[in-house]
Every structure is written in C-alpha cells, then in structure tokens.
C-alpha cells in the first residue's frame, strides 16, 4: 500500500482538535501520554513495548474488569515528528498470535480553526397583500 492511496477498503476519519501538532504527536508517541487516552471506557491501557521509530515495535495490553486482557501490537513504518505516523495494527489472540493486520496513517496538520458562521435571522414571510386561493 502506498500511503495516500484510497480504495474500497480504506477508512478515512478526520478530526479537528484545537491543539498544535507537537502536542498531538506526543500524545501518540509518548507512552505516558498514550495510556491516558488509548483505552475505551471500562479498560486501562498498559504499554509493554514501545519503540516509536521506523521499524520499531509496539505492544499495548488493554485490561477490563469484566473481560480480562486484550493485546494489540504492530510495527512503526513512518515516524516524522510532528506531522506523520504510519504503523501496522493487529489484535492478538490468547496465545499471542496476531490476527489480520491493518495499516494506519495519522497526520497532524496545523490549520486555523474556523469559527462557525453566526446564525442568520429568519426573514418573515413575504406577503403581497393578495388573498390566498
């Protein structure tokens, strides 16, 4: 896959987060920051391996009170601070075997936040003075 290619199996998500790319990049590449937001509700994330450089491996275990542990892992492909990360992602089964591998590309663009347009007053209906009918 060439990053930038879009196919029927590509999922693109875009979020506007009011923070500079440097802070967002750190949230994805510093283990102490990553564990604060990575896990879904009801789970806690623990970093087991984390080498954020091209070819470096990562592995995170999610622990839930009622479910037990779920592990996921991958390899970093692109690490370009503070603009771009690309890595593989796969869930591991209970024996540590990796399942289907997905490629993930995250970009951090600096854009000015757009303010929403102020609400416009609704014009009263135009009347012509002519009876309806």
| Cα distances (angstroms) measured from residue 118 to each of 79, 111, 115 | 40, 20, 9
Measured distance CA(62)–CA(68) in Å, rounded? 8
Q: Provide the 3-class DSSP secondary structure of residue 31.
A: helix
Residues 16, 103, 35, CA angle at the centre, nearest 5°? 60
Q: What is the pLDDT of residue 66?
A: 81
Is the domain spanning 21-107 CATH 2.40.110.10? The answer is no
pLDDT at 9: 74
pLDDT tens for the chain, 133 residues long, are 455 555 667 788 888 888 999 999 999 999 999 999 999 999 999 999 999 999 999 999 999 988 789 999 999 999 999 999 999 999 999 899 999 999 999 999 887 655 555 555 554 444 445 555 5
Domain ranges of the chain: 21-107
Q: How far apart are CA 10 and CA 5, in angstroms?
A: 8
What is the DSSP secondary-structure string of 43-67?
EEEEEEEE--STT-EEEEEEEETTT
pLDDT at 131: 54
pTM value is 0.75
């Amino acid at each position: 896959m060439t990053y930038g290619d879009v196919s029927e199996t590509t999922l693109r998500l875009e979020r506007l987060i009011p923070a500079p790319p440097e802070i967002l990049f750190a949230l994805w590449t510093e283990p102490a920051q990553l564990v604060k937001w990575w896990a879904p509700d009801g789970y806690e994330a623990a970093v087991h391996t984390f080498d954020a450089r091209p070819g470096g491996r990562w592995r995170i275990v999610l622990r839930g009170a009622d479910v037990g542990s779920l592990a996921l892992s991958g390899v970093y492909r692109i690490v370009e601070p503070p603009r771009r990360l690309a890595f593989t992602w796969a869930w591991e089964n209970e024996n540590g075997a990796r399942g289907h591998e997905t490629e993930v590309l995250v970009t951090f663009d600096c854009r000015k936040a757009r303010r929403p347009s102020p609400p416009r007053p609704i014009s009263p209906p135009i009347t012509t003075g002519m009876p309806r009918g």
